[in-house]
Amino acid sequence: MVEMKFPILKTKRLILREINKKDEKQIIENINNLNVSRWLLVVPYPYRKKEAKWWINHVREKKEDYQFAIELKDEKAYIGGIGLTKVDKFQGTATIGYWIGEKYWGK
């Protein structure tokens, strides 16, 4: 399998980057929250290690979607995720979805 390199997008406060295995613990901490997962169509609650491992492997293998980690630059903390699915390059359309850990809401 050929590794696909994603661009890193940076703002003053955030970094959007490729999701990797080191994110597992912080993914679980942030998404294993009913206030977060109840708004997401395909995220189970409770969210455990096996779900995080599956998700990380899935996004690294699925080449037609674009999934990014949202990292808070100052804390180097994984605070959520954002992605494009159903990408239609011919029509120039896609579906966007995102989530943010509750302790980072409103910041």
pLDDT tens-digit readout, 41-95: 889 999 999 999 999 998 888 777 889 999 999 999 999 999 998 989 899 999 9
What letter represents residue 62's amino acid? K
Q: In the chain, which residue ranges form alpha helices assigned H by DSSP? A: 24-31, 34-37, 49-61
| Cα–Cα dist 48/34, whole Å | 13
Question: Is 23 in a helix, a strand, or coil?
Answer: helix
pLDDT in tens, 14-24: 999 999 999 99
pTM of the predicted protein model: 0.85
Superfamily of domain 14-104: Gcn5-related N-acetyltransferase (GNAT) (3.40.630.30)
